[in-house]
Structure 1
């Protein structure tokens, strides 16, 4: 749900590039579609240290059930911007999430939206949740699930799916981590105009990763590139 800008100052990470645990993460992404460029940056603080041991590094906070707070800024090609304040909270097998998003369209017409999720871990690596937003609540409801499998060869598989109430659409994401540091994935959806998406991510060190993505719609294609820093 969160959009993220590019060109993060790596000097912030110079003293922690070899750390396996982290308390904060900064994500930066650039997306272009139909001659529109979207740039954003997001910072997340974890209240307890996140460990990357024995799991895919990109999934470490989920597997560790690390509660967090985040702040994100997105610029829509100079035609507006959005600010998002969010957080995830884990208590035993329960999961709670809340987001508040302020969007300014054309730097004048604005609105604030709230969204949230409640979930339960049926296993250490399997979460089922229900999510919704304050605007058109019944139409925004979704049933979601996320499952991470550890394979015998030390690789990992991440599977995510959602059922969207508004048009009875399904979304599906699958990621294959052939090592803890590297993955490729595919996104599928029955939503109108959506065809498919593919993406990849690689951690060059425990603190720095890059990702790329491609999304095909009926009307155009979107390209994304991003960078993550942890410290």
Structure 2
């Protein structure tokens, strides 16, 4: 998996791919992930539990009132016969969760309107592939196993926001450390070296230090999410993508009611 995610680096070095296009595809993939989970959250049936959490999605915090987020009778709406019903009360959670796009705009600030120049036909084709892959992933995770019956809308959108937050931290650390390292090399060790390298092999190669941590981060996300989905009790970094699963509490409550 790591090798697959590192292939774009070889493409930049050996085949003249543009780093900006690769980063655009990565960004679009995360955006589609957020939208796909937001759509899936509309089908979630379970109530929300916010007590004693260490991670809150955008729009919620430890002071959120329960009656504000979930004290309405369910109002199922069946859109088509081959899909489960959606729930009107889930819309507020989904609407608030889309505030995560404020964090996703962070990587675009240094680029500005130049980011539009990377929306090439190649990126468009890659986007179609990404959309298909995310639809298949959501279908597998939430619909094939009827997981929407055991999750709240909060849990569904939280899964996507944990991925966004992970990438946000990677982007910040990469931007600060790589930029500082380049500045040190340019100013103290070899003045003019970077310009010489850019003239010799192209400026895209100088951007590889920014791309490498993101490619490794993508491999980490895919590996960890797969473990979180397949294993009942994953360890290590996969626990971050597991989230704080309220289903354990629901099971305890149901068992205690059964004992009574």
TM-score class, shorter:
under 0.3
Relative to its length, the structure with more strand (as a share) is: 1
Give 1 or 2 for the bigger CA radius of gyration: 2
Q: TM-score, normalised by structure 1?
A: 0.28
TM-score, length basis structure 2: 0.25
Higher helix share: 2
Larger RCO: Structure 1 or Structure 2 (Cα < 8 Å, ≥ 6 residues apart)? 2
